[in-house]
Structure 1
């Protein structure tokens, strides 16, 4: 039996030790959390496409004696969390409540968030995404939402300097349709999808995955529904001193991906950067 802990944190902590089928159960829990963890064993097994005994083994992997004990911790965790709807009045009035100005609150929020991001980031998932991004035989497509699209463009700009085969999927129907038409087993789709999840991005991920593409997901700690069809999932907190979700932690992880890809591609990437720099200098 484990003491009361955040179930999501436990899942991330033990993800690397899980069997493939247990990992499917874990992602199904995270993708629909908390409701996914409050149903029956049979219901989760059906959603995750695993057997009921696998769900029981998944709970045991986290240190629980059974599914009911895990559910009790989920309920306790929910009682500890505030409703997102309460954030606007709470955060806009925070300066008056604790006497700190917005710069002080911002510094504390972002420093703590970056620290917690790297403490909880699943290293096995991070390494898996780096491997996908470094495979020069594969075509890498990136897509994001209204705000997270910035992260897709930013990562793509760096990857283009380091390797060929990089494209950004636009938000228009034609861009999405041609992305699906081009997708195959040599395609990797990197999706940035955060709270207020994008329905069309979920459909895009499902469609290209059905054609054999690998889906990698950058999302928040609640997990986009796209997690169900993703081979790699990197969650980040979105805490902010304002009522609006922040991409600060996600940007830090993107910078880490760029650093890891640069290191792994080594001289090949360096030669490509040198060639690109020469062309840009002479233009």
Structure 2
């Protein structure tokens, strides 16, 4: 939804039924918690039926409860502090098996990403990366793990890759100093979005570089800088960011690029296998123990 959903709820309040007004008031008072409740859980909390909650979402013009929930989540996820995340997660996981709940949620995020990812954008991103004079990869805070993973494999495919590592904003711009129109910067950030990542992508865009942004929503601050936008669903599990779906998208990007450079990749890994064997980089299968 393009408008703030809380404003819509306030506008519609006079036209709602008594039960729907109870749902509406709870959302207005505690939208950070409501955003991550199922329709059943929200109904139990305000003592109305699940069908009342579903009808309430339809009354708002959301097209169903999942769409209303997603609108709330997009609005609040980037604003929650770590303490608020813990409080929301404790409420979501109360009485639940943590292992099953978290892994089932991750599975749903991958399914949603697969359904919603734009194949044309993905193909254009692959083309841009393959054509780039220089490839910069930038992901800070929790997204640094994604950037390092992508960089690890891209550096085996290309000889023109730089993973931007930094501890201060000045260092970012120093490493991007020579970025230009023939280059591509791949930026990764998910809620809570890194302001330094957003600033760096704007810097690259202003200098004519292609910007491939991996983030979670069209409303993400990375989206406005992107020449190619790749979306992957993310969520939070307590204070922890769930980056399972973004990592799956990164995997797909690596494989797609690798297939386009198949002959070079085979030669590279043939050489690496010889080096790994000679210098015993990996432990042999079954270990070295003799029977």
* Bin of the TM-score, shorter chain as denominator length: 0.5 to 0.7
Q: Rg: which structure is higher?
A: 2
Contact 2:121 2:229 in 1 (8 A): yes
1:104–1:233 Cα change, 3 Å: same
Aligned twin of 1:56: none
Looking at structure 2, the residues matched to 178 and 90 of structure 1 have their Cα atoms a distance apart, in angstroms, of 39
What residue number does 2:145 align with?
Answer: 150
Q: State how far apart, in whole Å, the 1-side matches of 2:122 and 2:190 are.
A: 18
8 Å contact 1:162–1:273 — kept in the other structure?
no
User: How far apart are the structure 2 equivalents of 1:275 and 1:244?
Assistant: 38
- The equivalent residue for 1:234 is 230
Residue of structure 1 in register with 2:204 after alignment: 208
Secondary structure in 1 matching 2:138: strand
Structure 2 residue 117 is matched with structure 1 residue 126: no
Question: SS at the partner of 2:142?
Answer: coil
Does the C-alpha gap of structure 1 residues 34 and 236 become closer, same or farther in structure 2, counting only changes over 3 Å? Answer: farther
* Structure-2-length-normalised TM-score: 0.65
Superposed CA RMSD: 2.8
Given that 1:102 and 1:241 are in contact with CA atoms closer than 8 Å, whether structure 2 keeps it comes out as no
Aligned counterpart, 1:217:
213
Give the 3-state SS of the residue equivalent to 1:225 in structure 2: coil
Q: Tell me the residue number matched to 1:183.
A: 179
Q: Distance in 2 between matches of 1:269 and 1:174?
A: 35
Q: Distance in 1 between matches of 2:270 and 2:143?
A: 29
Name the counterpart of 1:47. Answer: none
1:164 maps to what in 2? 159
Q: Which SS does the other structure have where 2:187 is aligned? A: strand
Preserved contact between residue 215 and residue 222 of structure 2 (Cα < 8 Å)? no
Is 1:193 the counterpart of 2:171? The answer is no
Deviation at 1:143, TM superposition (A): 0.6
SS of corresponding position for 1:93: helix
Select the structure with the greater relative contact order (CA < 8 A; seq sep ≥ 6). 1
Give, in whole Å, the separation in 2 of the partners of 1:189 and 1:130. 12
Q: Which residue of 2 aligns with 1:81?
A: 72
How many aligned residue pairs are there?
Answer: 215
1:78 CA displacement: 5.0
1:180 Cα offset (Å): 2.8
Which TM-score applies when normalising by structure 1?
A: 0.67
1:154 aligns to what SS in structure 2?
Answer: helix
> Aligned equivalents of 2:205 and 2:217: distance in 1?
22
